[in-house]
Structure 1
């Protein structure tokens, strides 16, 4: 059964329960345990997603309750840390390749893969809510391994998706370590110097072509 939406109309924080009003106007009992691990207590007026199950005493009760995304979620620690990590990564990348012509094209590729990964996480979250066909975890990991892990890091807390699931989380962090390690070797290894030089030549030829087409005006 897919999740339905409602509003937490009444909430007794001391006793840890309340009632969700669904779209049909029914009041559905909900206990604080149905929210899982939470950093802040529920409050009346919050929009939620939930499933229902029969209950001998209450008729039905809500379970697997999920608070709908709101702008305040951007200030949560679980989102701020990935945001800081992603910002440091892209900033360090740009500075590390300051002398290389190919940095613009490589960064553009990384942005594209990260955006695609972010979108795929969002689609998988929606599919999970609607009990539709899911995006395979292997696809999400391959996108992350291809350089899209910043998109995964931002999507997980924002969509509240795959944040605690194991071994998915452990594999994702391993992917991050592998990506940063490989990039570090590429930047600082003398063995990778011929590859960096070759990429610079290719990038310069593209930049010259873009300048001739009038697409860029800055000096090359």
Structure 2
């Protein structure tokens, strides 16, 4: 295998390793998002699109070269059988062209897969943060509602107690007014009886003084 195809094969193995690491539950989406927002990754992220499309263009060129080699050696083996050694060389070259085609094709495919996985991990972390925020807001709303209901209940109970005390106080005031009126009536009666007693006493003393 030549140097360029060795490099492409190594890049393919590197992509496979990255995909496996991203799919395993080793790191949470939040950890991945923190890594994507780190300084180390931000240095690469500034020109990530340029690197991606350049690498994609290079892989596409190698893919087209592999397709050309496949068509070239496949047509060579379709004719009449030539010498055995020449036929074996053609088959080996055809096999290498097919191998290079598969390596390059899978490398291009995994490049899109990795890009999609990065986007999905970032979106999943953002959705998780939003869900946690919504849950916290819902919990705070429930607590506020509970405290409001409790305060309203206590206030209604206090109002009921106030109404009861007020009604009892009004009844007591009414009874006090009645008692005062009765006392006045009794005082008037006492005054009347006192006057009658004095008149009667005066009459008795007046008769006792006569000869």
* Range of TM-score over shorter length: under 0.3
Higher RCO structure (Cα 8 Å, ≥6 apart)? 2
Query: If each structure's helix is expressed as a fraction of its own residues, which one has the higher value?
Result: 2
Larger radius of gyration: 2
Query: If each structure's strand is expressed as a fraction of its own residues, which one has the higher value?
Result: 1
**TM-score, scaled relative to structure 1:** 0.23
